[in-house]
């Protein structure tokens, strides 16, 4: 059986891909495709990362995993689950799809990737690794929004950029040469499919059509009847991000005793329903600074995967304004956003 293993990267519409594939099982089955089941509670196959990790990730504790012995047992359970799922499929289904951006977002060591290959190779004889790579200026801006939404920090955007470009970056996967070299070493260059995350490069300008084209190995996928999920993890507006940044000291993701804040966990889904416009925009100078920093890595990306491509792998963009809109929220916006947030939180019991 063939496996398409989609590994992200983070902030490249992975949630949309995952939720849409999980929501269309019959459509996929008619085309010989199954979306995998690997003991994950939602459509993100993050359990593949947990099962192959060198250490117990904080989020893995929600699965009752607290020790390396727990991880080993869990890996065996994931192994058995994959085998069980395959055994339940009709004979005409010859392709399975796994998807988790955590495989690039959280895997840091080559032996974790080797462990993943060992696990998957027991079940599939043809495995392709699919990765979407995004311009680093856009990716860092998107991840900043994720940090504010989840309550991971309260840095100003310019400070967050410095952190991402520093030695302890929360976005190390954006160093594409370093990241993908590990995957090439384990899987082989011929088994890595790299796609630029950009509407101008997508098949029909659509990420779902583009990924389906990869799965079906065609440039003309027929998407008729495939229903896109509405749960796409779209980012929040610039004023909302600034409001969340200022609220962070009061409702952080991690409490003073180093444990996840249950109140913030409950609040995050509500925050995710807040306004998405006006979109966050960074200043042109900041964008140029970021892209210069990654110039060598992006040059390697072009030479390794797109040697015939004319011009730089990520072309210069003239659309960034001289001044961005991050770090700004007017008193009126703050009142309106706070009122909307409270209206979603407060539930008055009916008499």
Answer yes or no: do 17 and 165 share one domain.
no
**Which pTM does this prediction carry?**
0.93
Cα–Cα separations (whole angstroms), residue 308 to 136, 287, 297, 302: 22, 26, 17, 8
Answer yes or no: do 142 and 17 share one domain.
no
What is the per-residue DSSP string for 310-342?
A: -S-SS---S---SS--TT---HHHHHHHHHHHH
Among candidate residues 183, 216, 249, the one where a domain is terminated: 216
Given this model, what pLDDT does residue 259 score? Answer: 83
Residue 67, domain member (yes or no): yes
Residue 228, domain member (yes or no): no
Given this model, what pLDDT does residue 167 score? Answer: 96
Give dist(CA 134, CA 137) in Å, integer: 8
Given this model, what pLDDT does residue 231 score? Answer: 75
Answer yes or no: do 96 and 159 share one domain.
no
Q: Does residue 34 contact residue 96 with C-beta atoms inside 8 Å?
A: yes
Residue 350, domain member (yes or no): no
Answer yes or no: do 156 and 71 share one domain.
no
Peptide bond before residue 278 is cis, with ω within 30 degrees of 0: yes
Answer yes or no: do 144 and 259 share one domain.
yes
Residue 192, domain member (yes or no): no
The H or E element that residue 242 is part of is helix 238-247
Answer yes or no: do 80 and 48 share one domain.
yes
Answer yes or no: do 263 and 339 share one domain.
yes
Answer yes or no: do 73 and 38 share one domain.
yes
Q: How many domains does the chain have?
A: 2
Answer yes or no: do 164 and 78 share one domain.
no
Per-residue pLDDT of the chain (351 residues; tens, 9 = 90+): 999 999 999 999 999 999 999 999 999 999 999 999 999 989 999 999 999 999 998 888 888 899 999 999 999 999 999 999 999 999 999 999 999 999 999 999 999 999 999 999 999 999 999 999 999 999 999 999 999 999 999 999 999 999 999 999 999 999 999 999 999 999 999 999 999 999 999 999 999 999 999 999 999 999 999 999 987 677 999 999 999 999 999 999 998 888 889 999 899 999 999 999 999 999 999 999 999 999 999 999 999 999 999 999 999 887 788 999 999 999 999 999 999 999 998 765 555
Q: Closest Cα partner for 151 from 328, 38, 270, 231?
A: 270
Which residues constitute the domain of residue 54?
2-134+197-216
Answer yes or no: do 57 and 162 share one domain.
no
Cα–Cα separations (whole angstroms), residue 24 to 21, 229, 247: 5, 9, 38
Given this model, what pLDDT does residue 317 score? Answer: 84
Given this model, what pLDDT does residue 348 score? Answer: 55
Answer yes or no: do 157 and 112 share one domain.
no
Quote the crossing angle between the two packed helices 331-345 and 238-247, to the nearest 10°: 70
Among candidate residues 181, 216, 251, the one where a domain is terminated: 216
Residue 191, domain member (yes or no): no
Give dist(CA 213, CA 203) in Å, integer: 7
Given this model, what pLDDT does residue 166 score? Answer: 97
Given this model, what pLDDT does residue 350 score? Answer: 57
Residue 249, domain member (yes or no): yes
Given this model, what pLDDT does residue 97 score? Answer: 99
Residue 16, domain member (yes or no): yes
Answer yes or no: do 204 and 278 share one domain.
no
Residue 41, domain member (yes or no): yes
């Amino acid at each position: 059986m063939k496996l398409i293993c989609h590994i992200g990267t983070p902030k490249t519409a992975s949630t949309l891909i995952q939720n849409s594939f999980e929501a269309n099982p019959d459509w996929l089955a008619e085309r010989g495709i199954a979306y995998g089941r690997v003991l994950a509670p939602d459509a993100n196959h993050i359990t593949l990362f947990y099962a192959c990790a060198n250490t117990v990730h904080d989020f893995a504790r929600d699965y009752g995993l607290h020790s390396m012995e727990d991880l080993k047992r869990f890996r065996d359970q994931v192994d058995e689950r994959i085998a069980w799922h395959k055994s339940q499929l009709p004979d005409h289904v010859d392709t399975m799809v796994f998807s988790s951006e955590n495989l690039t977002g959280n895997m840091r060591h080559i032996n974790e990737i080797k462990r993943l290959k060992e696990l998957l190779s027991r079940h599939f004889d043809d495995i392709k690794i699919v990765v979407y790579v995004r311009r680093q200026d856009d990716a860092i801006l998107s991840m900043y929004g994720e940090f504010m939404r989840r309550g991971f920090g309260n840095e100003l955007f310019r400070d967050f950029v410095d952190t991402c470009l520093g030695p302890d970056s929360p976005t190390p996967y954006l160093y594409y040469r370093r990241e993908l070299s590990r995957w090439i070493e384990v899987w082989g260059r011929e088994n890595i499919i790299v796609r630029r995350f950009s509407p101008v490069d997508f098949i029909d300008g659509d990420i779902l059509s583009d990924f389906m084209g990869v799965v079906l190995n065609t440039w003309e996928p027929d998407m008729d009847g495939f229903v896109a999920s509405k749960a796409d993890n779209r980012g929040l507006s610039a004023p909302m991000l600034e409001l969340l940044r200022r609220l962070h000291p009061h409702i952080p993701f991690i409490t003073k005793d180093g444990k996840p804040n249950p109140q913030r966990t409950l609040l995050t889904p509500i925050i995710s329903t807040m306004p998405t416009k006006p979109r966050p925009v960074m200043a042109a100078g900041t964008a140029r600074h970021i892209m210069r920093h990654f110039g060598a890595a992006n040059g390697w990306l072009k030479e390794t995967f797109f040697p015939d491509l004319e011009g730089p792998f990520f072309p210069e963009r003239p659309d960034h304004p001289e001044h961005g809109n991050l770090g700004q929220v007017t008193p009126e916006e703050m009142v309106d956003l706070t009122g909307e947030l409270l209206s979603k939180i407060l539930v008055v019991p009916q008499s």
